[in-house]
Chains A and B, each alone.
Chain A
């Protein structure tokens, strides 16, 4: 009762209002659509009539199993690749650390549908690999291990950045205490340093899992031939095959949400079992150790991962973008800059699409960054009742396929009785991106807040700071590295989001991804790839320039 009278901090109110607008509204309409099949026509007739059909699908259990398998395998392989790299990056002096960071950022900037097309064109029979060295890996690519491989290369950076940043915050101070008391270096790492970085690890693995079960492009492109059907491909078929089955798609999406929610509960359970506070206000020695004899193997490991995850896809994209014709192959006479000049000449509307997507990306990063920080604060640091609900709202969209978010947004914002609506303006794209991407900043910021001792905020309040001032001056700067990294990812993904954009884009508006997709649909692969290459360059360079202008230290990124 004392709490209630004290009043709720404004940051919590803003967080709650933002979450309702961005997440709860579209999600509510997806649930309503699942219950009322005629919702799209404004009728509430025949409730629950679609449930039996969708859940009674004999293929449902197999697809759910495949979805889970895919999620778990991608999480495991991502952790296997990213955690050792992150540990080396956080605790040791890795030569060229900043360069590796940039190179590991790029896989995240490569749209998944582009990456998978790049891999197909490289590994299929008579693909680039066979043209250069005489053999192909098609059997591997079009199989479940192939799908896991391609998806892992897209998602391991999430784990790498989260774990290396958390480990950096933990530093080696606590392990040193362990060493003083006689622990071996390995023991100190396994028993002290790694457990203290659990928030970052758990949060990022949860993100990867949710991303993997929600991803459409890769399983659709590679899984079809392997007979590997997942929930998302079934959902997409229901949404695009006439007669459109929106209720069925909504119901299958709720199955995905349940899966992701299970992973979320597991992660929360891990995080709340104990305290992970490592930032207590005491000065921290951030000196890193020398690698010694391990220098060469570690650098080789970084180089190998960077080459496979970043180098190969970029080269494949560049090769297609420079080819005049796909059938001409990799011969000098077939290479040229005609696709790039078509984009820069803007005979095709490419520059306008770039401008639209880049502004939407910046806006989405700012909105989700602010909302993410406030929501994470409300969940971790405030004692507001119902903060569990807020936490659930922040994870929901992670499991929602983009196309279902798009349908939910249309259902919600195209109601005839609304006096004003963002629908059919670019604002609806911003809402879609914010909804889909909000989990990123929230997860990163939550992990960061878990590491900050409560006494820091309390000290500020004792010295007369208002809750907002304490949040802005004390807490926000402390979580800034994690939050900025997440906002960067939001920017990157929002500028190339495809699945929701295709359906929800206002009339007459092209985004980068819908532009590329149209080129592919019409058989102009080279033009689409050239646009993708330009986009990857811009989305990688812009955040780096912005960060260096803001005077961040080199170790943020």
Chain B
């Protein structure tokens, strides 16, 4: 990225201004729509301003992993669609896609909000397999936070498809049964640009960051996953400040999602 643009972002932030007019710790306007894809068992569209992300859940009955014969499987996959941004290319997922997938996945998995034991149909033979796919449609930064929110919204909206006595799935018939979810893990990524901390970075801002920290939390004082990114180190004081900010912002987002789920 052009050094002048980076400097401009940095210098503006010192004055407390962002290129889109927001304050450093403001999120963009959030909208969450549920059940937007008819072919998925659950789905959600999340928008932060103009940035748009789609998440879909597909369920299937599979054999469990040999080391966890009584557990169902929950998997999150994110892909940086070249449709969503001029800088993304076709081809196998790059490290950015993989990191995004894994950070969202870890946040949901480690929160324990989905009890995989309850997804077991026949011990050692048949378990439910939940695949959550997350895709930016219009990419403008902050995919982990948007994708994590979209994934939770999609899981919450999902209905199990019907199965016969041999556990064959009939995708044309949805049941009323919902996935049992306790708690709402919400990832918030706090970015450090110069000495300023910001949340909900745009694509341009992401290219100018020195360091970032993604904190996934279940409530105001329950963290369930962390990921530090960016080239520069962070002091413990900075980490304390970033976690504090992330917990506060996660609470805002969690309230928004809870409203939509009502």
- Is the pairing of A and B real? no
Interface residues of B (CB under 8 A from A): none
